[in-house]
Amino acid sequence: MTLQQELTPNAPAKLVVDEVSKTFGTGRRAVHALDRISLQVGEGEFVCLVGPSGCGKSTLLNIIAGLEPADGGSILADGAPVSGPGRDRMVMFQEHALFPWLDVMGNLMFGLRLKPGLRDSERRDVAMYYLKLVGLERFKNANIHELSGGMKQRIALARALAPNPKVLLMDEPFAALDALTREQLYGDIQRIWQERKKTIVFVTHNVREAACLGDRVVLFSPNPGRVQEQFRVDLPRPRDINSPELAGHATKIMRALKGHLQTPDSPTE
C-alpha cells in the first residue's frame, strides 16, 4: 500500500496534481516556486496545505483553480484536465472580495449567476439556504460596510458554496481576523463541511489551524516548494483548536516543519 492510499483510504481521487512545476520570471530574477508537486485529494476530503511564506502553496491553489498556468505537469479534476477556471472549482481568498455596491443578498445572487438554468426565485431560495447555513439570514438586506470582518467572511463562504462547486479552494481565508472570530469560524466551517461534504483544499501557514480543520495536512518546504511530509489527523469533529489532543498533532507537524527548514536543501528565507 502506498503512502497516498494510506492517507486517503477508499476515496476516489477528486483532484490529481501530477508533477506540477512553476517558475516566475526568467534569468537571474527567476523564482522557482514549485518543483514537481504530486498530490491526490479524495472525494469529500478536507486537505490543508501548510508551509512558510514563499513555499508555493497559494501558487498551487491558483493552478488548481485554473487562474495560473503550470510550467510542467498537469491537474485533473474528476479525471478531466484543468485548463482554466470552472464552475466546479470555487475560490475563497483571504480578502472577502464582496461587492460593496450590492447588499448581502445581491452578492449571493450575483454568485449564483455561475449556476445556469435557475429562475430568480430559485436563486433567491438557494441564497437564503446558504445564508441560513452561515447563520446570517437576518442580514440579507444589510450593506457590506455594515458587517464585521467575520460576518463578511461568512458571506464570502456562503457565496462560494451557493453555486454548489465540486471543490472549494480556500486561501488563508481567516488570516486577517482576530483570534476569537477565527475560533468561531473554525466551528462554522467544520459544521458546514460535515453537512455538505465538500472537497476542500485549504491553504494556511498556521499549523494549529491546519490540524483543527484538515483530515490531512500536507507539509511544504520552500525554495522551491515541494511536498515534504503528509499527516493524517484522525481526531473526531467538531475539534477544539485549544484541546490538548489537537495540540499534540500540531506539535508533531511543527517539529517536522522546523526540521525541514533546517536542512541544507530547504534554506530559510
pLDDT at 263: 54
Strand partners, 161: none
Inform me whether the pLDDT recorded for 75 exceeds 80.
yes
The angle subtended at Cα 103 by Cα 100 and Cα 104, nearest 5°, is 110
Q: Let me know if domain 3-88+166-261 sits in CATH 2.60.40.2130.
A: no
φ, ψ of residue 167 to 5 degrees: the values are -135, 135
At 262, the pLDDT band (50, 70, 90 cuts) reads: low
Domain ranges across the chain:
3-88+166-261, 100-164
pLDDT in tens, 110-160: 878 767 777 888 889 999 999 999 999 999 999 999 999 899 999 999 999
The helix/strand/coil state of 22 is strand
pLDDT at 94: 80
pLDDT at 6: 40
